[in-house]
Structure 1
């Protein structure tokens, strides 16, 4: 199964201030605030939800197609992704804007001052998934992950028009969607991804309870952090899978993206849902053990090894050739 991953592509600029922000704030001058902080450290990391997920699928040999909007400054990042098995056919390069950036300064008390520049991401709604089909890169599944909201809705509509199954991963963009938009995004999705908080927010936004959402969507995958994952399907008992025990958390950034990559890679190999959830949890544990969301190293056999150690030898069977539908 070849997956196209639509969504954000960005770089994170992370800085550390050795003092305390609160000590620099004068209450009587807050109406005229003008501050500059000399930082000790700067880390530039590759990120963006779609790029993170595509990276994970790429290192697992799935040859995903990345779909998103970037600036002319994307060249070095693109080389990195291609070296890790990502097809960038679906990436649009803006002639006017730079690639999205997240800039954050953290002080010694873990307080943060941050800004996000959407940049070229604002042009993602101009991407037509028909171009992938015309270019001979038609996917078997499109994952619609956080992006410019208009782009997310367009990609969902394109999938319906083209008859391509899609997965909805609204994530943090749920806050930007009204009820009608949220319902449109998830209705007809073969797969739905949320975390626990987003699951509750999705129900509030759509005005539908869990059972009602499951009547209009396929398999609903809810990540539960250190408690693992829950998988719901209409009329069937939930499947719950625990997280990998005793995972060393070096950096939580991108763990959810890694889970989605591991899960979809297993689905692409037609593995049972419980096994797919374990593969997702295993890749998330690998990502948690490294700094940055695209710095971990693994492959399919190595990830199977993590699953065997965490869940037992019987938990990591060889990929099945059938059936095609999720079991």
Structure 2
């Protein structure tokens, strides 16, 4: 299955605040916040939603096509992604802007405050899916992840015009998209990905109720943090899959991206939604236990062990022929 992953490609600057953000906020002064946090450390990591998801898919041997815009500072990053099975030849390189930057501070409760500089990402609107499909020899699925908002809308429209199935993952950009734009983005999607907060925001912005959304998409996948994930389809009972337990949380950055990579990797292999959600949860836990969204390797034995521990031997056996290793 040939998957194109469109969206942000960025460098992450990750910092840790040893206290709690909640302790620093005054309820009666939220309209004039001016805070500075003394952090314990700085980790500079490669990131961006599309690159994170493509990295995970590459680890499963799917050779995803990464689609996004970067600056001329991307050369080293490109090499690393290629080494991990990602096709980067469709990435647009800006001649005037740097690759996007994500700066994030995480407190001891795993709450985050972040800022994102778009940089070259604003040129992603000039990328056409038809050209990517021609280069790739055809596409079976396009994931439309957070990106320049105009690019997201154009990619979705291109997929509809070309008859290419697509998955909508508006995530952080729901805050900037209008209700009509969100409708344009998600209508007709094979998969819609959100977390709980984003799901509520989507409903508020569009004026839809849950039934309206389910009539517009093939399936709605909502990550629930420590409670796992919910998969909903029109006319069916919602499927809730618990999370894979975490030994020691290190950094939540990229956890949702890892879930999407595992989920889509499993569906690409023809597995049903429940199995896909289990693999997504297992990979998400792997990333949660790691600092940085691309500082892990897809370890079949460890994934199978996590799936067996969380869901049982029968659930793990579904993946054994594909991943090729028994649980360790």
CA distance 1:48–1:235, shift in 2 (3 Å): same
Q: For residue 91 of structure 2, what is the aligned residue in structure 1? A: 91
Partner Cα distance (2:264, 2:164) in 1:
16
Q: For residue 208 of structure 1, what is the aligned residue in structure 2? A: 208
CA distance 1:109–1:276, shift in 2 (3 Å): closer
CA shift, 1:113, in A, is 7.8
Partner Cα distance (1:6, 1:51) in 2:
9
**Structure 2 SS opposite 1:181:** helix
Number of aligned residue pairs = 312
CA shift, 1:253, in A, is 0.8
CA distance 1:310–1:17, shift in 2 (3 Å): closer
Partner Cα distance (1:177, 1:130) in 2:
24
What's the CA shift string for 1:167-222, capped at 9, x where partnerless?
00000101111111010101000000000111111111111111111111111101
Q: For residue 243 of structure 1, what is the aligned residue in structure 2? A: 243
What's the CA shift string for 1:39-83, capped at 9, x where partnerless?
874321011011000111111111111100000000000111001
CA shift, 1:320, in A, is 11
Matches within 5 A, 1:129-144: 129-144=129-144
Q: Is the 8 A contact 1:269 1:320 kept in 2?
A: no
CA distance 1:308–1:319, shift in 2 (3 Å): closer
Which region of structure 1 is more displaced relative to structure 2, 114-123 or 54-63? 114-123
Q: For residue 28 of structure 1, what is the aligned residue in structure 2? A: none
Matches within 5 A, 1:120-131: 120-131=120-131
Q: For residue 273 of structure 1, what is the aligned residue in structure 2? A: 273
**Structure 1 SS opposite 2:56:** helix
Q: For residue 303 of structure 1, what is the aligned residue in structure 2? A: 303
Partner Cα distance (1:110, 1:286) in 2:
16
| 1:49 matched to 2:49 | yes
Matches within 5 A, 1:1-327: 1-15=1-15, 41-104=41-104, 115-318=115-318
What's the CA shift string for 1:240-292, capped at 9, x where partnerless?
10001244211111110000000000000001111111000000011111110
CA distance 1:137–1:74, shift in 2 (3 Å): farther
Q: Is the 8 A contact 1:11 1:99 kept in 2?
A: yes
Partner Cα distance (1:145, 1:123) in 2:
15
> What's the TM-score, normalizing by structure 1?
0.87
Q: What are structure 1's unaligned runs of at least 5 residues?
A: 24-30, 322-327
CA shift, 1:114, in A, is 5.6
CA shift, 1:137, in A, is 3.8
What's the CA shift string for 1:74-130, capped at 9, x where partnerless?
000011100111011221000110100123567999998864321000101000011
**Structure 2 SS opposite 1:62:** coil
Which region of structure 1 is more displaced relative to structure 2, 165-174 or 111-120? 111-120
Determine which structure has more spread, i.e. the larger CA radius of gyration. Answer: 1
What's the CA shift string for 1:5-37, capped at 9, x where partnerless?
100000012356899x999xxxxxxx9x9x999
Partner Cα distance (2:205, 2:220) in 1:
16
CA distance 1:44–1:137, shift in 2 (3 Å): farther
CA distance 1:316–1:109, shift in 2 (3 Å): closer
Q: For residue 324 of structure 1, what is the aligned residue in structure 2? A: none
**Structure 2 SS opposite 1:44:** strand
